[in-house]
Structure 1
Amino acid sequence: MATAPSSEDDLFDEFLSDRGHEMTTGRWERSYNKLQCPECGALHDEGSMSCTVCGWDPS
């Protein structure tokens, strides 16, 4: 028996991935010499471990 997704976002991600869309955002994006959050677009210094705006982290 499958488990239910924990949020509406998880449900939507599951729907898209079942239809062939890649849903992984496991890396920071780059903007000049800054790291850019792939979720909200906030810019951070090179050593950042997670987004201080939305809480996203690459793990």
Structure 2
Amino acid sequence: MLTDLAPYAVSVAQVERAAGFTLPLPPNVDKTAIGGIWPSDVEVFQRRKHAVCQ
């Protein structure tokens, strides 16, 4: 199962606002940019979690 994570992509600025603090990043980082999302296979993570937790 491939899950679309695009709705959850946010900028560093949005994370900072929500968290209430500023992240210590280099001055040349564009905090307003939203990066690309890598495809993820959630089933792989679920199988691994199940195997480790049993």
Shorter-chain TM-score: what band? under 0.3
Greater relative contact order, per chain length (Cα 8 Å cut-off, separation 6+): 2
* TM-score (structure 2 length as normaliser): 0.25
Give the TM-score taking structure 1 as reference length.
Answer: 0.24
More helix by share: 2
**Structure with greater strand share of residues:** 1
